[in-house]
Structure 1
């Protein structure tokens, strides 16, 4: 009998589903959340009983207003440790290929609910060599690893805070 895990009350984790969307020139689409200092990939939280690719599609449609987005291959999974300073629990971010948007695709950020601040304040296609100026270090590494996996599927990786974890470390018991 397993006593180290209670399936009736499992530990709490955040699960995110993100899209790596590019312009025809290969620049990466980033959005600027009103609640963060850095820019990030399109996407957001996975709801209970929602598959990560479905969440990526839902979040992508909500955040940039494009109804015919497609979710492609899973590129990387990034584990984020808990942060006792901020109170954030550990999390997993699934990054999917969001494809290439045509240059004339109309990106429309969502309107805020009445009486609320907008969730997103801006969007921009950013060249790879400028990502470090927009993203925090973890997001920057995550995007670079996802771009590598997109270019070469053998580079798909499990990450820990944007860094590849290979071979997977096994804890000693």
Structure 2
């Protein structure tokens, strides 16, 4: 029988899932939240008891009004605490494609998202916050190589050296 008190005493880490969706021209779909600056991949927080993949699918359906074809996970990025109550987070990025018909069918929730755009991968830093932009080339590499990459704050860690501190 598990020691419930022991498990309840363990630290918890926030999780998020995002969809790296490319159109037939290789452009990245970004969405613009109404509650923060910058453009982001569709996605959001993993709810209690929910898998990262299930969260990604749910968030796409909620944010875009559709479920894109996802081909696999391409990145796990540990994001450090960002101050003012923003905890560390493990972000799972799933890659897939989005068709012209799906793009035309996107229905954004107006209380959460104010727009969407397709941008060439090299233009993502013009739109996205730095930690998101840093993650993009690594996620695209993982997508091209059909494997997942591990990042810390959008950067490949120097294995064999001390990792980033959590606070």
Both structures adopt the same fold (TM-score exceeding 0.5): yes
The alignment's TM-score, normalised by the length of structure 1, stands at 0.84
Provide the rounded CA distance (Å) in 2 between the counterparts of 1:69 and 1:27. 15
The alignment's TM-score, normalised by the length of structure 2, stands at 0.86
Higher helix content, 1 or 2:
2
Q: How does 1:64-83 map to 2 (within 5 A)?
A: 64-66=64-66, 68-83=67-82
- Range with greater deviation from structure 2 (24-33 or 129-138): 129-138
Gap runs ≥5 in structure 2: 1-5
Instruction: Tell me the SS of whatever aligns to 2:150.
Output: strand
Contact in 2 for aligned 1:57/1:70 (Cα 8 Å): no
Structure 1 stretches of 4+ moved >6 Å: none
Q: How does 1:21-170 map to 2 (within 5 A)?
A: 21-66=21-66, 68-84=67-83, 86-97=84-95, 99-105=96-102, 106-111=105-110, 118-153=111-146, 156-167=148-159, 169=161
Provide the rounded CA distance (Å) in 2 between the counterparts of 1:47 and 1:131. 27
Contact in 2 for aligned 1:16/1:44 (Cα 8 Å): yes
Contact in 1 for aligned 2:15/2:89 (Cα 8 Å): yes
Provide the rounded CA distance (Å) in 1 between the counterparts of 2:100 and 2:24. 7
Q: CA RMSD in A?
A: 1.9
Map of 1:12 onto structure 2 = 12
Gap runs ≥5 in structure 1: 1-5, 112-117
